[in-house]
Amino acid sequence: MRLGRLSLAGGRDYDGQVTGDPRLARRREEIEAASAKEGRRRRLAAALGAVGILVVAWLFLFSGLFALSRLRVESSGRGVPVTEVEKAAQAYLGANYFRFDPSTLERSLLAYPLVGQARVSASFPHTIVVQVTAATPVLLLSPVAGSGAGVAVNARLQPMPGVAPTPGLVPTCLAAAPFSGSVSDFACDHGATVAQLSRGLGRVIDLLGAARAVRLKPASAVVFGAYGVGIGFAGGYSAYFADGTSASAAVSSLASLLKQGLVPSGSVADLTDPTHPVVD
């Protein structure tokens, strides 16, 4: 007698072969299909998200939605060239709010000698705000004797044409070499230009600041080319400061000599070496 095919527990038939449950196979297929569908859904969502980010970035950074279309200029002090400031700022209208770099416009404005300080910002969403203050003259370039009142110079060493010299400005001139002639070198009878004095003007400003800090009263200054700077003081004495020496240290040395009464009117203090000053 021949027995039929039996299905035993564990899915093992009579000849020892294992057969799969069709329900498990269908379940695996369903899981794989669902996983593939979920993967496609996630890829689609990621693609749509990326497109959305690009669209938003374009709207914010490149469209005209946030274009700077208005200008507000605020000025303080006399002599601010408002017309020139507005003209320079108008070149930036149309720029995107989020891509606007205020520092570039600030640098452009500081090219004007009559502008002392410039602060630029963008007010959301469409306005450029420019705040400028008038420049203050700090030195007076001495003219050739009898040729005029001289030219005022601002703290950035820019000539300020048309600005009348104010009381207290220290006249500055150019000489060939220190102690090359009489003390009249300090009287600034020489003509000079900014180009001739540019190397020494910053040094002059530092020395004047240091002198005023200890309540000395500079009356005139002279730049000796690449040698140093001479300053004449209201007390009738003068001092020579070599290039490369500390302005504060040299002025402090001069103040100490004055306190000891060692710099009489008409004398010249040589502060080439502030630790060993020489008075002539």
In a shared domain, residues 182 and 208: yes
* Total domains in the fold of the chain: 3
Name the phi and psi angles at 83, rounded to 5: -60, -45
User: Is 74 in the same domain as 149?
Assistant: no
Residue 43 included in any domain: yes
Residues 73-104 as b/e (b if ≥16 CB within 10 A, e otherwise) read eebeeebbbeeebeebbeebeebbbeebebee
pLDDT value at position 183?
47
For residues 195 and 147, membership in a common domain is answered with: yes
What are the helix (H) ranges across the chain? 22-61, 82-90, 102-109, 194-213, 247-259
Residue 53: its pLDDT value, please?
A: 80
Chosen domain end from 134, 154, 188: 134
> What pLDDT, on the 0 to 100 scale, is given for residue 186?
65
Q: Tell me whether the omega of the peptide bond preceding residue 161 falls within 30 degrees of 0, making it cis.
A: no
- In angstroms, the CA 137 to CA 270 distance is 28
CA distances from 272 to 227, 242, 247, 276 (A): 10, 5, 11, 8
Same domain, 171 and 262: yes
Same domain as 188, residue 223: yes
d(CA 234, CA 65): 62
pLDDT score at 35: 80
118 with 164, same domain: the answer is: no
Which residue bears the tokens 């003509």?
191
What whole-number distance in Å separates Cα of residue 107 and Cα of residue 91?
14
Q: Which residue is listed with tokens 């001069």?
A: 254
Give the contacts of 154 (CB within 8 A, at least 6 positions apart). 113, 116, 135, 136, 137, 138, 160
Calpha distance 140→222 (Å, rounded) = 11
Residue 86 and residue 50 share a domain: no
Strand residue runs (E) in 124-206? 127-134, 139-141, 151-153, 170-174
Region of residue 204 (phi > 0: left; psi between -120 and 50: alpha; otherwise: beta): alpha
What are residue 132's DSSP bridge partners?
75, 118
What is the model's pLDDT at position 119? 97
pLDDT in tens, the chain (280 residues): 444 454 545 544 545 555 567 777 777 877 877 787 777 888 877 877 777 787 666 666 677 788 899 999 999 998 899 999 999 999 999 999 988 999 999 999 999 999 999 999 999 999 999 999 999 999 988 776 555 678 889 999 999 888 887 788 888 888 877 776 554 556 677 777 888 888 899 999 999 999 999 999 999 899 988 789 999 999 999 999 998 899 999 999 999 999 999 999 999 999 999 999 999 8
Boundaries of domain holding 33: 19-62
| Shared-domain flag, residues 117 and 155 | no
Amino acid 3: pLDDT: 47
